[in-house]
Amino acid sequence: MMAPTAVEIVGLVEMAGESPMRSSGPGIGLLMLPFLFCFGLPVAFLGTLFGVLPTLSVAVWAGRRCAGRHVGWWIPAVAGCWAAAVALWPAATGNGLETWLWVWLSGMAALSTVTLLTRWALTRGRPYGTVVGVGLLSAVAVVAVGSLAYGTGLVDEYAPPRVHTSELVGTWNDGRGGTLRLDEEGRAVATGTWGEGGVDSPDERCEGSGTWRFEPDDNPWLQGVTIDVGDCWSGQWTLGGTAGRPKLNYQLGDTDSPDWYVLTR
């Protein structure tokens, strides 16, 4: 029951972040409901069995052992220990202290929240109904708060910068040695860029010259740049980045879960 709320939170956060394509927002949670209940229930059961219940049991035992009664703050303490142990795996793979800290904090917060909810639900007359009710209310509350934040302008939804043709003229770099030169006469020259195969096909370097044209639109998401350089790419490039640092994005791979080839001016 916590999973739809988590998906909604991620969707709302992604709406404000820079992205090559428009975020689906919290509405993606509705599309993911079948997946969450078909594949999420077994995961939730294992998480409850090996995460939530042991955390609650150890917290109750530690509270009674040390203070003579159970106190709620033992739950975050025990959850933090479990999360620290789990976070050792990314640390061991060489991801560094920052990754370990992020995994530890997010794991502790998630486990503490669910365990505290479980402890509270077990004191109710109908614990399962309580969990379902709280889960539904939390999902509705997240959508309401997020809609209010974006609707009032407290948080702005990301949109690509509006550009003019003159702002596209210049050299664009992919950060891997590839460049694309666009001149004011509509000529395009690619040097060492990636083709349709993307970075997984290092031998498919794309070089050549051709033409380009900008296709403006009142909707910033529909602005496009058509670049015709031999057999390098087929289709349109979209605009991204910010006004001070625009980017050209080209979609590769599956349209449902694409990879992006990004050039920065």
Cβ contact 238:224 at 8 Å? yes
The pLDDT of residue 262 is 94
pLDDT per residue rounded down to tens, the chain (265 residues) = 778 888 899 899 999 999 998 888 888 777 888 888 888 888 888 988 998 999 999 998 988 888 777 777 889 989 988 888 877 776 556 666 777 788 888 889 989 988 988 888 888 888 888 888 888 899 899 999 999 999 999 999 999 999 999 999 999 999 888 999 999 999 999 998 887 766 555 556 788 899 999 999 999 999 999 999 877 887 789 999 998 899 999 998 777 778 899 999 9
Residues β-bridged to residue 227 = 212
How far is 51 from 170, CA to CA, in rounded Å?
55
The pLDDT of residue 158 is 95
The pLDDT of residue 241 is 94
The pLDDT of residue 90 is 62
Residues β-bridged to residue 171 = 181
CA 124 to chain centre: 36
The pLDDT of residue 13 is 92
- Please, what's the largest Cα pairwise distance for the chain? 81
How far is 187 from 52, CA to CA, in rounded Å?
61
The pLDDT of residue 168 is 95
The pLDDT of residue 69 is 73
- What is the value of pTM for the model shown? 0.71
The pLDDT of residue 203 is 56
Residues β-bridged to residue 214 = 225
Helix (H) or strand (E) holding 190: strand 187-194
Angle CA(38)–CA(253)–CA(228) in degrees, nearest 5?
A: 155
